[in-house]
Chain A
Amino acid sequence: MNITREDVIRVAELANLELTEAELSTYGAQLASILSYCEKLNELDTKNVEPLAQVLETGREITAQDAAEAQHLREDRSRDAAIIDEVVRRAPEGVDSQPAYFRVPKVIDR
């Protein structure tokens, strides 16, 4: 298992992480060592094994009604959590106006 410096940079970009030079070099080696260990899973033939999606599944065929019940679907009605002002007030750059909002650097170029 080899992870190049370019691999580490690409993954850090995907993860929105700014890494230092030192981190770039240690994470490459550590990820390679952890992923090599994970290759132990290839000892197992899983051709006919379904991936586990839900840990509490019953094993029987799931009907549409079961699915709805399992997901606890509720009425599609809005509800006022009444904490918006408090959330914005505690944000790094919340603007306490009506309506309240978060200020961020410009994302659209004109």
Chain B
Amino acid sequence: MSASPTPPAGSNNWTIAGIRRALESRQISARELTNEYYARIERENPRLNAFLALSTERAFAQADAIDAKIIGGEPLPPLAGVPTALKDVLNTRGTETTAGSRILKGYVPPYDATAIERLDRAGAIFLGKTNCDEFAMGSSNENSAFGPVHNPAALDRVPGGSSGGSAAAVAAGLAVVSLGTDTGGSIRQPGALCGVPAMMPTYGRVSRYGLIAFASSLDRIGPFARTVEDVARVMEVISGRDPLDATSADHPVPSYTAGINGSIKGLRLGIPAEYYAEGLDSAVRQKVEAGTARLKELGCVPTPIAMPHTPYAIPVYYLVATAEASSNLARFDGVRYGLRVPGTTLGEMYRKTRGAGFGAEVKRRIMLGTYALSAGYYDAYYLKAQKVRTLIKSDFDRAFQQVDLILTPTSPVPAFKLGERTDDPLAMYLADIYTVTGSLAGVTAISLPCGKVGGSLPVGLQVIGPHFEEGRVLRLARAFEAAGGFDL
């Protein structure tokens, strides 16, 4: 796909490399391309609700800077002119950033998150901010205070969550690439449900500075794109150590694109039986098995493995993530940013502001996390969960002594109908059953399109790699894409 010639105007097949060629050959200017995408957003966004805010002023300034470089004959940065969408939990200088919450309505950050700043320096064009579940808490995007996103593949269905807007924008051709965030599956699951490649980097690979924190030991920032090569190009730009995030890793950032076409022959692919058990939709299973068979034809070696603590991952995740959230979200109290509901005392102001500003799911999670951390319950819930988290991580450590990568479905079901699961929080949590494990273990993973079921509903194949082995994951992903795996 990346080698395709420049697509005709109005097509939505632009890639990063294709844009570069078109800019360098003066076939199109960055300003024209930006206009093209805004026209598409204007046309399509009313029915998708993928964008919450557009940053047109900044986008055209970025485009003009690229066009000036072209006219001046200067070298172009790696993402020159690439129309990009940014999840609304990422702080962007000068553009409203709400995290999908009423409590931050109208908040305009004075600085860029590090990942955003790196994209800016790399020449990307920031089209706007994408819709998401409030504070990234949800698996369907229905927890946004500003209405749900509709899945471009089936408008009456959810796009997945929480990065539903970022996934839908790329899937519908309203952006070439986008950034999302993943705490328990929030990049991979919407990538699967919308049918686009979506990567969760290793914990610490991408700086979290400027990301509105949900659960600090789990949160990651990562890309959506239409091709694996474009995922790799964004990963190269956003990865690496940042002095502003003490948990960002010093680990060197390889050229992910340079290694992407390497051989995958002989790679051992772990197939954990626990991920193919009760609850997996049979049509989804068929597609994932067909994907596995395709990889076997390419010379990979599927190998059965055991990951016995998988069934405990959902309770561990929901205790750890909500405990961290209850602490992180204490900062939204009406003093420094966003909404303030007046009160006669400081305490009353806090309680009224938070009561009015947070939506139902965010309050539920703050309550759960506060309960799990409260005196008398800490050992039974939070400490117990952290111990079982050790066991889940050791499942991965053992697996990666036997195999090079792990292959699972991304989601047990394809996109479900809007409103279908909103009344039962626990049923919604179970949508994350195949993704929370990798979040808890800190490993990297990508979700790849793997055919469609029921005519139009995309299926996601999850490829999980050890810490800092994004290169290996991307190499397999590229081979799968080149072998037609996306259209199985």
Residue numbers of A with Cβ under 8 A of B are 7-8, 10-12, 14-20, 23, 27, 30-31, 33-35, 37-38, 40-44, 46, 49-53, 55-56, 71-72, 74, 83, 86-87, 90-93, 102, 104-107
Choose among A23, A42, A44, A93 the residue that contacts B391 (Cβ–Cβ < 8 A). A44
Q: Assuming A49-B390, A105-B344, is B351 touching A18 (CB within 8 A)?
A: yes
Query: How many whole Å from A6's CB to the nearest CB in chain B?
Result: 13
For chain A, what secondary structure do more than half of its interface residues adopt (helix, strand, loop), or is it mixed? loop
Q: Count residues on chain B whose CB falls below 8 Å from chain A CBs.
A: 70
Residues of the A chain whose Cβ atoms lie less than 8 Å from the Cβ of B330? 16
Query: How many whole Å from A32's CB to the nearest CB in chain B?
Result: 10
For chain B, what secondary structure do more than half of its interface residues adopt (helix, strand, loop), or is it mixed? helix
> What would 16 more interface pairs be, CB under 8 Å, given A55-B441, A72-B243, A91-B335?
A11-B370, A15-B366, A17-B355, A30-B425, A46-B384, A51-B383, A52-B389, A55-B217, A90-B110, A92-B337, A92-B338, A92-B339, A104-B335, A104-B346, A105-B343, A106-B346
Residues of the A chain whose Cβ atoms lie less than 8 Å from the Cβ of B30? none
The residue of chain A having its C-beta at the shortest distance from the C-beta of B308 within the complex is A44
Residues of the A chain whose Cβ atoms lie less than 8 Å from the Cβ of B204? 56
A-B contact count (CB 8 A): 151
Choose among A44, A56, A83, A92 the residue that contacts B340 (Cβ–Cβ < 8 A). A92
| CB–CB A83/B367 < 8 A | no
Residues of the B chain whose Cβ atoms lie less than 8 Å from the Cβ of A35? 368, 371, 381
Selected A-B contacts with CB under 8 Å, 20 pairs: A14-B370, A15-B326, A16-B347, A19-B355, A30-B364, A33-B426, A34-B429, A38-B315, A38-B381, A41-B315, A50-B390, A51-B383, A51-B387, A52-B386, A55-B441, A56-B204, A56-B249, A86-B110, A104-B349, A107-B345
Choose among B249, B339, B370, B388 the residue that contacts A15 (Cβ–Cβ < 8 A). B370
| Assembled-state Cα–Cα distance A45/B243 (Å) | 40
| Assembled-state Cα–Cα distance A104/B334 (Å) | 9
B352, CB-defined interface residue at 8 Å: yes
Query: How many whole Å from B178's CB to the nearest CB in chain A?
Result: 26
| Assembled-state Cα–Cα distance A14/B344 (Å) | 19
Q: Which residues of B (353-391) have their CB < 8 Å from a CB of A?
A: 354-356, 358, 360, 363-364, 366-368, 370-371, 374, 381, 383-391
B256, CB-defined interface residue at 8 Å: no
| CB–CB A17/B354 < 8 A | yes
Query: How many whole Å from A39's CB to the nearest CB in chain B?
Result: 8
| CB–CB B374/A55 < 8 A | no
| CB–CB A90/B107 < 8 A | yes
Query: How many whole Å from A37's CB to the nearest CB in chain B?
Result: 6
| CB–CB B335/A92 < 8 A | yes
| CB–CB A107/B346 < 8 A | yes
B14, CB-defined interface residue at 8 Å: no
B209, CB-defined interface residue at 8 Å: no
| CB–CB A40/B337 < 8 A | no
